[in-house]
């Protein structure tokens, strides 16, 4: 009897805790943006108990489905088709990071390769983003590189692209090094990278990427970083975001083949990008806005209606 009561209490605590965490994260998503959504999604991807609780509660399923397409490739394809039908491009993100087991890193690689094949078979407009820590970077650089090469090679066979996500600041140099290794040493031109405007170093990184004619996703940044490394105040991050956008949309960048994805839900940043494009006489089809699945859907639809390109990141 006591055992049953304790089990029931633990179950209730798990349910309440999960509801609280999900609800709190959703509040912070709307107030503070991508960092909190990332934390929520990673929590759900790593916690089988939380997923079980959510799967058994219709209301919680609805909450989770607002931000995550599902757990199967069929669900991912269905979500992608729906977004495509509304004129939106898609980037699919197979959740997971900080893998420390080689077998799990290889399993993630295989799932992503299968996802690339499903995109091709379904005929949908989508590419895939990957995190190097999910592919084994925390174990050894060569493991992540080997897995990434398999992914990029399959994407090239399917005439598709792969975006390497940027993670915390301590991984920036290694991420950029692996990106350049895949592109320059192995000759894959179907790979892009992400730059975060809250890092002081990003202006220098962007200047180099412009020289190289890179395919760049610019975002504000979603990891907690110390003030010695990143701007601690939002207005400074915003100012740098606008500066980097201007650099990446410059005549030199465009001549070198740079293609920019402006990843933000901040209307001030969107307006600033539109003003830069008008001033430089850049066609709306020569760059794209990018937003997260389930966030600011009305704004997404508004941009499409105005003739802008929009890509939705779908976990």
Name the catalytic one among 163, 217, 254, 311: 217
User: Distance (Å, rounded) from C-alpha 250 to C-alpha 18?
Assistant: 46
Pairing status of strand 259-263 against strand 215-219: parallel
Asked if 93 contacts 80 with a C-beta cutoff of 8 angstroms, the reply is no
Largest CA distance in the chain: 74
H or E element in which residue 263 lies = strand 259-263
Are the CB atoms for 112 and 161 separated by under 8 Å?
A: no
Strand partners, 196: 219
R_g of the chain computed on alpha carbons: 20
Q: Is residue 238 within 8 Å of residue 268, measured between CB atoms? A: yes
Determine the Cα–Cα distance for residues 33 and 313; give it in Å rounded to an integer: 14
Would you say 264 and 308 are in contact if contact means Cβ atoms under 8 Å apart? no
- Please indicate whether residue 165 is annotated as part of the active site: yes
Backbone φ/ψ region at 300: left (φ over 0), alpha (ψ -120 to 50), beta: alpha
Catalytic residue (choose from 38, 154, 165, 238): 165
Q: What's the chain's length in residues? A: 315
Residue 219 · residue 184 · CB < 8 Å: no
Mark whether 217 is an active-site residue: yes
* Three-state SS at 96: coil
- 202: tokens are 């990003």
Say which DSSP state 181 is in: I
Which residue, 22, 15, 14, 72, is CA-closest to 44? 22
Catalytic residues: 165, 217
């Amino acid at each position: 009897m006591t055992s049953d009561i304790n089990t029931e209490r633990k179950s209730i605590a798990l349910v309440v805790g999960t509801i609280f965490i999900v609800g709190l994260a959703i509040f912070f998503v709307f107030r503070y943006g991508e960092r909190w959504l990332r934390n929520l999604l990673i929590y759900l991807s790593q916690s089988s108990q939380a997923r079980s609780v959510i799967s058994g509660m219709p209301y919680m399923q609805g909450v989770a489905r607002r931000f995550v397409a599902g757990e199967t490739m069929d669900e991912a394809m269905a979500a992608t088709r729906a977004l495509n039908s509304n004129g939106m491009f898609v980037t699919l993100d197979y959740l997971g990071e900080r893998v420390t087991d080689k077998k799990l890193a290889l399993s993630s690689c295989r799932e992503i390769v299968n996802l690339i094949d499903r995109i091709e078979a379904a005929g949908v407009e989508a590419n895939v983003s990957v995190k190097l820590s999910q592919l084994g970077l925390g174990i050894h650089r060569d493991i992540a590189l080997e897995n990434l090469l398999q992914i990029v090679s399959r994407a090239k066979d399917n005439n598709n692209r792969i975006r390497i996500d940027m993670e915390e600041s301590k991984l920036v140099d290694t991420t950029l090094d692996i990106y350049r290794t895949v592109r320059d040493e192995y000759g894959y031109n179907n790979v892009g990278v992400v730059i975060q405007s809250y890092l002081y170093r990003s202006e220098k990184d962007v200047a180099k990427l412009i020289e190289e004619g890179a395919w760049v996703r610019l975002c504000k940044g979603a990891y907690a970083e110390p003030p010695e490394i990143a701007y601690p105040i939002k207005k400074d991050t915003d100012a740098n975001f606008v500066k980097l956008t201007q650099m990446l949309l410059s005549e030199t960048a465009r001549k070198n083949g740079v293609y920019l994805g402006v990843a933000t839900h901040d209307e001030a940043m969107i307006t600033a990008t539109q003003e830069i494009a008008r001033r430089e006489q850049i066609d709306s089809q020569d760059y794209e806005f990018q937003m997260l699945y389930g966030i600011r859907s009305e704004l997404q639809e508004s941009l499409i209606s105005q003739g802008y390109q929009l890509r939705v990141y779908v976990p």
